[in-house]
Structure 1
Amino acid sequence: MALFLKYFSGLQGNNCNRVSYPTRTMCVLQGTSVNISCTYSHPPDAKLYHKYWFKWRGNQEPSNLQTDSEYERRAEYPVEETGRSTLRITDLRDTDSAEYCFTFKTSQHEWKGSLHGTTLTVTGLSVEVTPVAMVTEGQRVTLTCITSCPLADKLSYIWYQNNGSVTGSENPENQLVLDPVGPQHAGSYSCSVRNFPHLRSPEETLTVQWTLTRPQSCTAPSNKP
């Protein structure tokens, strides 16, 4: 039992080897950057040999992200304080969605990263039209800029119609309401977030059908008696 605790919790007598992650799950926009941090501790009399971050790959041996070809020039450790480390990944990609862990080795112990780290989900933007992409003039239409998970940061959303920004569309809410919708609203819509206008969603086409009103027929009064 003592051996089990030493491996999985890092317990060594009255001194502990610990790694703690303040944030266990993160959702970040594709193409942006993210900082993942942790705090760690070890007995003060233990000499620290190395420390690094790695991507959890099951039973594979941990690999320093700074030397991993998949993260070449994208992974760095910008904050290196005693007892604290930060992993920064830039130009986030879909394949970066994974669990990230921190490990270190001292003269007395090697942290195996057996406890869960921080799980990162990288998401893109897409446009959802309600009720449907083809509507009738006069209806209420809601366009929603959606992601596969709630973003970690509070962002302002910007809407575009036919590649031009919609006046007054920047809003902390992720919806654009067209009420009532008219022929001038027909076109292709996309969305982005503030400070990252180049990271637009794919376009979604909104088709507006005109309401046809039949002309009234008038009968002139007869002059016949």
Structure 2
Amino acid sequence: MATCNTLVFCECSVVLGQNGWSVTYTTQSICVLKGSTVELSCAIRYPSGTVTSTFWFTKMETGVEPEDLSQNPEYAGRLEYHGDKKNGHNLRIADLREKDSATYKFRFITDQTGGKYTGDPGVTLSVTDVVLEMDPTSVSERENVTLTCRTKCTLDPITAYSWYKNGQPIPNSNTYSPVYILFSVSSEDTGRYSCAVKDHEDLPSAEETLTVTFVLGQNGWSVTYTTQSICVLKGSTVKLSCSIRYPSGTVTSTFWFTKMETGVEPEDLSQNPEYAGRLEYHGDKKNGHNLRIADLREKDSATQQ
């Protein structure tokens, strides 16, 4: 995936003040991605005196001086403040976390009597992660799957979305829509999927796993295998699984086999002496038909049915 350092700057102005006192915030609300970096900015005005103290904070109680964020251990190593005590008071917060979501306000104190001022209403920061929604997460072949890339607040702007399978970009998958559809899936589409918004590819969503099962059947008859191919080591043990559907009646016999000739009933593997002592079969004659083969040999390589 591409890597980028995310930094959000704000360009509109909001001026609040009275009697010559004011704080001008460059924006009132910002939505940014978890893990990225944001910069909050403001400028101040005051009637007279000299500014002796400036700081940003998020919590204020009546009669109690608010806490300077630079003294808050939760922000340790993540804050960078630049200010000339008159204009250009910029607070940069790195490695954003969802709990950083809050309203940030700027306060300054002068050497004049009563010379303290807090700029209201402040800047509301919303930190969001990217979430991939998959519907459904388990399907049979030839069905469609819808992937939706969401954020909890509105990022501005989002120009495109990127889509990934097993950590690798899906070829020709960049879209201008937050929705991506996998049409008529096959077992090859089984895997882990994620998404990201353009220019934030280093901050992808958590992965969601898609399972596609192989289905054979017609007229109400089917066998659904949990996989079409398996590679295992010689000497190890493998488990093959399937479930069945049928229109009516009662199942009287179930078995796995590898060879079939036209007009001849295939041989139940449990009767094959080459598998003696190595097979274990569990099934309820309707669903959950599991075949376990131990001490695998190279000649066991075959298509089990």
| Fold similarity call, TM over 0.5 | yes
Give the aligned length: 201
Q: What is the 5 A alignment of 1:178-217?
A: 178-214=182-218
Q: Which of 49, 54, 76 is residue 51 of structure 1 equivalent to? A: 54
Deviation string, structure 1 residues 74-96 (Cα, Å, up to 9, x no partner) = 11124658433221100111221
TM-score normalized by the length of structure 2 = 0.58
Q: What is the 5 A alignment of 1:24-173?
A: 24-43=28-47, 45-59=48-62, 61-78=65-82, 80=84, 82-108=86-112, 109-113=115-119, 115-130=120-135, 132-154=136-158, 156-173=160-177
For 2:71 and 2:216, locate their aligned partners in 1 and report how far apart those are by CA, in whole Å.
Answer: 65
Deviation string, structure 1 residues 194-214 (Cα, Å, up to 9, x no partner) = 454443322111122445343
TM-score normalized by the length of structure 1 = 0.76
Structure 2 residue 15 is matched with structure 1 residue 11: no
For 2:174 and 2:155, locate their aligned partners in 1 and report how far apart those are by CA, in whole Å.
Answer: 17
% identity of equivalent residues? 37
State the structure with more CA Rg.
Answer: 2
Task: Indicate if the aligned counterparts of 1:48 and 1:104 stay in contact, CA closer than 8 A.
Answer: yes
For 1:70 and 1:144, locate their aligned partners in 2 and report how far apart those are by CA, in whole Å.
Answer: 33
For 2:39 and 2:58, locate their aligned partners in 1 and report how far apart those are by CA, in whole Å.
Answer: 14
Higher RCO by CA contacts (8 Å cutoff, separation 6 or greater): 1
**Would the alpha carbon gap of residues 70 and 111 (structure 1) be closer, same or farther in structure 2, given more than 3 Å must change?**
same
For 1:79 and 1:178, locate their aligned partners in 2 and report how far apart those are by CA, in whole Å.
Answer: 51
What is the root-mean-square deviation in Å for CA atoms of aligned residues? 2.6
Q: CA deviation at 1:102?
A: 0.5
Task: Indicate if the aligned counterparts of 2:30 and 2:123 stay in contact, CA closer than 8 A.
Answer: yes
User: Aligned AA for 1:38?
Assistant: C
Runs (5+) with no aligned partner, structure 2: 1-15, 220-305
> Helix, strand or coil: the match of 2:52?
strand
1:20 aligned residue: 24
Q: CA deviation at 1:178?
A: 1.4
Q: CA deviation at 1:55?
A: 1.8
